[in-house]
Amino acid sequence: MPVYAPAISLTDMTQPPKKGERFSHLYIERGTPLPDSPRFRVRLGQYLGEHFDYKVCHALGVMLTRELGVEMPLATSNAGKLAEFFKKAETHDVLDAVTLIYGLLRDYFHSPDVRRECKAFVERAVKKGNLVYTVDEVCGVHPLVDREFERNIATTIAGLGTARYEAARTAFEAAEAKLEQTPADTKGAIRDTFEAAEILTKLISNSGKALTASFVTGGFQPRVQKLYGSDSVATMVGARVAQSFADWVDAAHPYQHGQKTEEPVEPPEELAILLVSQGAPFVRWLVDLDRQLNGKSD
């Protein structure tokens, strides 16, 4: 017999459980959010079959065939075709379909209530399925990245707002976009973050040298120490930060090059998010260093 762990925290356990709450919501740990879920797919197909008649389901099926380039499977009804599609389609087609269906409903029905209810259902299905996505106001599906990560990215982009840093900003914004696309281009996101950092180190050092860990420790770190030279504590901390930057460069560097494989190898998403998250504050720090070392404000 399985052993169930409470899904609520130890703090919450001091309070009696809500009456009428589903067992799985109280006592089964949800675990790490998932990129896909069979139950999420079943819910989508069931919702369409329950809420829309033959005419609407037929229009939805025709649109998905046209826009996604997929053949709808044979079934006894159009609602059945849609349900089969959601069960068997690739993940990115299912997520695309959510947005496309909302768009068709917007054109098909004059009342916003239908779209509002559809969006609320999709949000609920995503949440119940414990999926790694969030749904925007027009049913666009995006990777669910924690708020701290989002603030980190936004602050970094804001710091790159002047003309001098346009190339670095372009690279860093590209990294963000590649993480948000479905499926995420994790290797591209790491490479673009690395490129943003490399552009900034070249601006600081007025050098065309490639960004490597040895360049950071040998040619870049002395500039940091010189900057903080009058403050012994800041000099020590700055040296350690520069070493951390060199370690980040070493960690990201393998993804700058091709790998000895026949098939493309994408970095795991959690590693990509970690490397981009760690790279963002280094990019901000490099901008500040450039302004102080080179007296650049634009």
Task: Give every CB contact of residue 250 below 8 A, 6+ residues apart in sequence.
Answer: 213
Which residue do the tokens 């609520």 mark? 8
Radius of gyration for the chain, computed over Cα atoms and rounded to the nearest angstrom: 25
Residue 6 has a pLDDT of 46
Per-residue pLDDT of the chain (298 residues), as tens digits, is 444 444 444 444 455 666 777 676 666 665 566 778 899 999 998 998 888 888 888 888 888 989 999 887 655 557 788 888 898 888 889 999 999 999 888 877 767 888 889 999 999 998 888 887 888 888 988 776 655 666 667 778 777 888 899 999 999 989 888 887 767 888 999 999 999 999 999 998 888 888 899 988 887 778 888 888 888 898 888 888 989 999 999 999 888 866 555 455 788 887 888 899 889 889 999 998 888 888 765 5
User: What pLDDT, on the 0 to 100 scale, is given for residue 190?
Assistant: 94
- DSSP secondary structure string for all residues of 60-124: HHHHHHHHH--PPPP-SSHHHHHHHHHHHS-HHHHHHHHHHHHHHHHHH-S-HHHHHHHHHHHHH
